[in-house]
Structure 1
Amino acid sequence: MDRIAIIGCGGSGKTTLARRLGTELNAPVTHLDVVYYGSEWKPRSQEEFSALQEELVAGQRWVIDGNYASTLPIRLARASTVIFLDLPAVTCLAGLAQRRWRHGGGQNDALGVYDRIHWGFIRYVWNYRSAMAPRVRSLIVEHAAHAEVHTVRSRRGAKRLLTRLTTQARNTTS
């Protein structure tokens, strides 16, 4: 579990899981929203974003959270563990509402929170499982056959996986 890629819909809990795994495993955590968006919500070019990810995945240990299917093969090719948070749309929308309540919107680089919710994003979240999840699953099969892959379909399942992985890591290091 030296290189962990966490993928999933907005509001699925990627950032929270990444922070907790990073703390438990003492691994550096990167939130791709922080990498993708510069100041004033300005996205980086595809080339720059890809190059930055190539640098990140060259490290020996990391936890990286973010969907960004166009650059997902970069992370999958180097990941030893892949976690796909495939939660229902209602759960993800509730997660977005909780994030908005907790952080008040905006961008918080320290926490890895990029919270710019608009109707197009809500539609994306609502349709993620039918429109994006099949593509993500296909990319995982194509680029991460070498990795340990976990698909999580509930918040409870994410908590169980976190407990299992951190227990496994402690037992390996002791």
Structure 2
Amino acid sequence: MFQKAIIIGCPGAGKSTFARKLSDKMHLPLYYLDMLWHKPDRTTVDRNIFDEKLKEIVLKEKWIIDGNYGRTLEMRIQWCEAIFLLDSPVEECLVGAKSRIGKQRVDMPWIETEFDEEFKQWIMDFPKNELPIVYELLDRYKGEKSIYVFYSRADIEDYLSKTFG
């Protein structure tokens, strides 16, 4: 199997839930990029600090990293052994993101109180603006990395049950 994996995809697709399940099954430490980037007061850390923290993580022997952050995606791909892309339908992602409102999450340093219109638009634009870049990178690294693409939550559950029973 693998010891280093990244989980990427549209917000609301189920990345963090899948990451937790995979981490539990494989006994690998899990790191959330949102927790590295965001501060509890809703500000962000300096890019250099984020990059330093991320480099510390990728240099470790074992990890799962959950999150997109396109600026550092190729660097994470270079260090990982497995890539999981959650390419779920936008409608499913919108429902997933909306369902988190008002709930404490381990992958965010605060509780969202509303479904922000800008965030909603980013989700709706994800297939057009982000996925082509992601698929281009996956194509570049196929053969070098184990690549898994899931198109629904059912695909994720099928993978987990077939792989781990």
TM-score of the superposed pair, with normalisation by structure 1 = 0.85
Return the alpha-carbon distance in structure 1 between the equivalents of residues 44 and 141 of structure 2.
25
CA shift, 1:144, in A, is: 6.2
Residue 127 of structure 2 corresponds to 129
Residue 113 of structure 1 corresponds to 108
TM-score of the superposed pair, with normalisation by structure 2 = 0.90
CA shift, 1:22, in A, is: 0.6
SS of 2:41's partner is: helix
Matched-pair contact (CA < 8 Å) for 1:12–1:91: yes
Amino acid of the structure 1 residue aligned with 2:118: G
Equivalent residue pairs, number:
161
Return the alpha-carbon distance in structure 1 between the equivalents of residues 74 and 46 of structure 2.
17
- Root-mean-square deviation over aligned CA pairs: 1.7
Q: Which runs of 5+ in 2 are unaligned?
A: none
- Compared CA separation, residues 47 and 134, structure 1 to 2 (3 A): same
Q: Mean Cα displacement is larger for which, 74-83 or 40-49?
A: 40-49
- Compared CA separation, residues 144 and 75, structure 1 to 2 (3 A): farther
Amino acid of the structure 2 residue aligned with 1:147: K
Matched-pair contact (CA < 8 Å) for 1:73–1:143: no
Residue 141 of structure 1 corresponds to 139
Return the alpha-carbon distance in structure 2 between the equivalents of residues 35 and 143 of structure 1.
26
Equivalent residue runs for 1:6-155 within 5 Å: 6-100=7-101, 104=102, 108=105, 111-113=106-108, 116=112, 117-142=115-140, 145-155=143-153
SS of 1:150's partner is: strand
Matched-pair contact (CA < 8 Å) for 1:80–1:147: yes
Q: Which runs of 5+ in 1 are unaligned?
A: 168-174
CA shift, 1:166, in A, is: 2.9
Amino acid of the structure 1 residue aligned with 2:15: K
Residue 160 of structure 1 corresponds to 158
Q: Mean Cα displacement is larger for which, 87-96 or 143-152?
A: 143-152
- Compared CA separation, residues 63 and 48, structure 1 to 2 (3 A): same
